[in-house]
């Protein structure tokens, strides 16, 4: 062990009784060790003198009032960010509420047609819209209801527009032709013309 | 033990809403907080700032104090942490500003020490201590000024006793050397 380490252990009371007696024996015979120990003891003496210092009591009397006034300033300072945070939170909650409401309404509209857009892929939508598909349910009117509505419409048109039953036969669609067979009879050019006409047509006048 | 009972009573009174109990706790421990901060920071103004920071933390956290350690140890832990944080902030400030230690000493004319001779001796030790690494300085202060055992220091700092002893010995050697240099410079 180095000399300094021995001295420090001795001063710091970290030596066992046997180590201590060995050190004290060594100390008697070594002037160098005595000189070094003296330096450390003088440092410790200086430190001891600065342990209990007379202080101006007025400073310590001011500690609590100073703390209380600082606490008040802090409280006021923290109030503004808290208010801002509260307003921002309320605005965010309101925004989320409005968005969720509008999203729910959209779902309701789509669900009327039995198709939930969010859950349906592109290919599924195509198959659902395929006229030959069993899944496409255009209207919910049975054959019996359809004929009764037809006769009702015919009577209304005859009465209101002064049409004869012969004129009505021109207006009524061919009963034997269904939608899928009609579409099969349309060639590509005709389909394109119909498509263009539909695109150019203004359904609603502003 | 009786001291702990008084502390227990004061803390419970404060939790129940008695602000005067907090004032009593401050009056009891403020000098210890100040002197630890003063020796760590090396001047009155910084020590004063640390004391105020410690009191704010103490006030905000005292309601959650569960007496797992003594109130003194807990306050000491807060003081030690605040001092180290303050010194980190100060060294950063010193890098980016012209506010050096010399100007701080001039500004410290409103010191709390009455006696001129003591003031000089303390100034010397403070100057030397500021040149010792923070962790070593902390152990030196706790061991010599606050007369704490290594076990107590370990409880406050969370460091091992062996590590603390090593830090203390390094601090002592460095302080001895710096004191010698200080005398030679004069």
The string of pLDDT tens digits covering residues A89-111 is 899 999 998 888 776 665 544 45
Taking 70 as the threshold, does the pLDDT of residue A132 lie above it?
no
Q: Is A4 on the interface with B (CB under 8 A)?
A: yes
Percent of chain A scored above 70 by pLDDT?
A: 68
Q: Which string of DSSP letters, residue by residue, matches B139-166?
A: HHHHHHTS---HHHHHHHH---HHHHHH
Please give the DSSP secondary-structure letter assigned to residue B132.
Answer: S
What's the pLDDT band for B159 if we cut at 50, 70, 90?
A: very high
Q: Per the confidence metrics, is the pTM higher than 0.80?
A: no
Q: Which string of DSSP letters, residue by residue, matches B82-116?
A: HHHHHHHHHHHHHHHSS--HHHHHHHTTS-SB--H
Percent of chain A scored above 90 by pLDDT?
A: 19
B160 close to B154: Cβ distance less than 8 angstroms: yes
Q: Is A52 on the interface with B (CB under 8 A)?
A: no
Higher-pLDDT residue of B96, B169? B169
If you average pLDDT over residues A6-34, what whole number do you get?
91
pLDDT at residue A157, as a whole number = 72
Instruction: Give dist(CA A183, CA A194) in Å, integer.
Output: 12
What's the pLDDT band for B73 if we cut at 50, 70, 90?
A: very high
H/E stretch holding A8 reads: helix A3-11
What's the pLDDT band for A67 if we cut at 50, 70, 90?
A: very high
Q: Given B31, B56, B176, which is nearest A39 (Cβ)?
A: B176
What's the pLDDT band for A150 if we cut at 50, 70, 90?
A: confident
User: Minimal CA–CA distance to A62: which of B121, B12, B112?
Assistant: B112
Higher-pLDDT residue of B95, A21? A21
| Exposure b/e, A174-194, CB count within 10 A at least 16 = b | eeeeeeeeeeeeeeeeeeeee
Q: Is A1 on the interface with B (CB under 8 A)?
A: no
Q: Given B115, B121, B169, which is nearest A46 (Cβ)?
A: B121
Instruction: Give dist(CA A199, CA A202) in Å, integer.
Output: 8
pLDDT tens digits, one per residue of A153-162: 777 777 777 7
pLDDT at residue B105, as a whole number = 53
Residue A189: strand pairing partners: none
What's the pLDDT band for A115 if we cut at 50, 70, 90?
A: very low
**Distance between A114 CA and the closest CA of chain B, angstroms:** 58
A47 to B144: CB separation less than 8 angstroms, yes or no: yes
**Distance between A26 CA and the closest CA of chain B, angstroms:** 21
User: Which residue of chain B comes nearest to A50, CA vs CA?
Assistant: B122
Q: Given B114, B121, B176, which is nearest A50 (Cβ)?
A: B121
pLDDT at residue A1, as a whole number = 66
What's the pLDDT band for B57 if we cut at 50, 70, 90?
A: very high
**Distance between A72 CA and the closest CA of chain B, angstroms:** 11
Instruction: Give dist(CA B107, CA B94) in Å, integer.
Output: 16
B122 to A71: CB separation less than 8 angstroms, yes or no: no
Taking 90 as the threshold, does the pLDDT of residue B23 lie above it?
yes
User: Minimal CA–CA distance to B136: which of B102, B181, B177?
Assistant: B177
**Distance between A54 CA and the closest CA of chain B, angstroms:** 6
Percent of chain B scored above 90 by pLDDT?
A: 70
Q: With contacts defined as CB-CB under 8 Å, which chain B residues touch A11?
A: 172
If you average pLDDT over residues B112-119, what whole number do you get?
86
For helices B116-129 and B19-41, the axis angle rounded to 10 degrees is 70
B43 close to B64: Cβ distance less than 8 angstroms: no
Taking 70 as the threshold, does the pLDDT of residue B181 lie above it?
yes
Q: In this predicted complex, what is the ipTM?
A: 0.82
């Amino acid at each position: 062990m180095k000399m300094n380490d021995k001295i420090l252990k001795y001063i710091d009371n970290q030596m066992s009784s046997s180590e201590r007696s060995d050190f004290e024996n060594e100390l008697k015979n070594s002037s160098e060790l005595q000189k070094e120990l003296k330096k450390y003891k003088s440092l410790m003496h200086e430190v001891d003198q600065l342990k209990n210092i007379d202080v101006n009591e007025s400073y310590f009397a001011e500690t609590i009032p100073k703390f209380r006034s600082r606490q008040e300033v802090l409280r006021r300072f923290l109030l503004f960010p808290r208010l801002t945070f509260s307003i921002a939170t309320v605005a965010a909650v309101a925004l989320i509420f409005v968005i969720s409401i509008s999203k729910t309404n959209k779902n309701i509209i789509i669900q009327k047609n039995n198709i939930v857009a969010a859950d349906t892929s592109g290919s599924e939508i195509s198959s659902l819209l395929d006229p030959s598909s069993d899944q496409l349910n255009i209207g919910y009117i049975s054959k019996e209801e359809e004929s009764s509505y037809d006769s009702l419409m015919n009577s209304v048109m005859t009465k209101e527009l002064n049409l004869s039953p012969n004129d009505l036969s021109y207006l009524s669609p061919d009963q034997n032709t269904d939608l899928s067979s009609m579409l099969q009879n349309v060639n590509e050019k005709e389909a394109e013309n119909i498509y263009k006409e539909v695109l150019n047509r203004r359904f609603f006048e502003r | 033990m009786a001291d702990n009972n008084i502390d227990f009573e004061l803390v419970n009174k404060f939790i129940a809403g008695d602000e005067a109990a907090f004032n009593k706790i401050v009056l009891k421990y403020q000098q210890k907080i100040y002197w630890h901060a003063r020796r760590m920071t090396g001047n009155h103004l910084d020590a004063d700032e640390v004391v105020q920071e410690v009191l704010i933390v103490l006030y905000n956290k005292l309601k959650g104090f569960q007496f797992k350690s003594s109130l003194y140890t807990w306050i000491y832990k807060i003081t030690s942490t605040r001092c180290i944080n303050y010194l980190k902030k100060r060294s950063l400030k010193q890098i980016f500003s012209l506010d050096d230690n010399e100007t701080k000493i001039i500004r410290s004319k409103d010191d709390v020490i009455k006696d001129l001779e003591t003031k000089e001796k303390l100034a010397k030790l403070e100057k030397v201590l500021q040149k010792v690494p923070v962790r070593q300085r902390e152990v030196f202060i706790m061991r010599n000024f606050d007369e704490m055992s290594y076990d107590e220091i370990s409880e406050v700092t969370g460091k091992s006793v062996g590590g603390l002893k090593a830090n203390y010995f390094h601090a002592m050697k460095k302080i001895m050397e710096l004191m010698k240099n200080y005398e030679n410079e004069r």
